[in-house]
């Protein structure tokens, strides 16, 4: 009774990491039997892991055939990054409203996070730093509802983040962009931090293989060119 959940958790972790590391790519067909044999477990926990990953949007399960890795399309990527831009700009504005000292302290904390990964950055390390960095930034808004929404959003876009840091050069670029945002906050330049954040999310989109730039619609009553 106690081994089955552990086996399912092992299968889930193995498949998920393989997806994020690019071992399994868009359109790949995963076999219950092959994954079970690789892990030395039965097919039942693999089936449970497939279902869990389908619920998270990573896989599409086909009974008795296996599961297919769901492709990340341009509309998905743009939609997620636009939502991130909305929430992260809100966080920066809320942080600025708390005053200069709050801005400086948040920048200092974010810089400490970046310094841990700036030497010998790896794709997986950059991915973990990205989650820490952006969740800390969202947390600085002081709104737990927004923080909860962002956690859910991050889970939906982890494959985009993984694609954006797949190579060591991309990983280093991701960390450098975080450090630039943190520096702007630490030096009390929140307007520049906003611009750098928008540029960073555009770069994430491009490194993930998509064109364009995430943006927010103009305010009601204004033209798009205003």
How far does the chain reach from its first CA to its final CA, in angstroms? 63
Output phi, psi for 140, to 5 deg: -65, -15
The pLDDT of residue 167: 77
Number of Cα atoms under 13 Å in the Cβ half of residue 61 = 15
Q: For each successive 10 residues of the chain (226 residues), what is the average pLDDT?
A: 71 90 86 94 94 90 91 89 96 96 97 77 81 94 95 84 80 92 97 97 92 89 58
- Residue 84: name the closest of 29, 158, 9, 31 by CA: 158
User: Do 168 and 123 touch, CB atoms closer than 8 A?
Assistant: yes
User: Do 56 and 155 touch, CB atoms closer than 8 A?
Assistant: yes
- In whole angstroms, give the CA distance from residue 26 to residue 57: 12
The pLDDT of residue 23: 84
């Amino acid at each position: 009774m106690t081994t089955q959940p552990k086996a399912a958790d092992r299968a889930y972790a193995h498949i998920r990491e393989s997806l994020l590391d690019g071992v399994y790519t868009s359109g790949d067909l995963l076999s219950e039997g092959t994954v079970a044999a690789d892990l030395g477990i039965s097919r039942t926990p693999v089936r449970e892991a497939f279902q869990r990953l389908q619920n998270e949007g990573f896989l599409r399960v086909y009974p008795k055939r296996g599961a297919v890795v769901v492709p990340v399309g341009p509309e998905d990527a743009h939609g997620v990054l636009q939502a991130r831009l909305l929430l992260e700009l809100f966080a920066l504005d809320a942080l600025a409203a708390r005053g200069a000292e709050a801005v400086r302290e948040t920048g200092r904390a974010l810089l400490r996070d970046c310094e841990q990964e700036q030497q010998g950055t790896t794709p997986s390390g950059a991915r973990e730093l990205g989650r820490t960095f952006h969740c800390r930034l969202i947390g600085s808004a002081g709104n737990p509802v927004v923080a909860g929404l962002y956690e859910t959003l991050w889970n939906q876009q982890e494959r985009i983040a993984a694609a954006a840091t797949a190579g060591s050069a991309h990983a280093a670029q991701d960390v450098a962009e975080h450090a630039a945002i943190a520096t702007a906050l630490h030096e009390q330049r929140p307007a520049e931090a906003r611009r750098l954040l928008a540029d960073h999310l555009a770069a994430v989109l491009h490194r993930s293989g998509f064109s364009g730039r995430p943006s927010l619609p103009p305010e009601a009553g204004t033209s798009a060119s205003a």
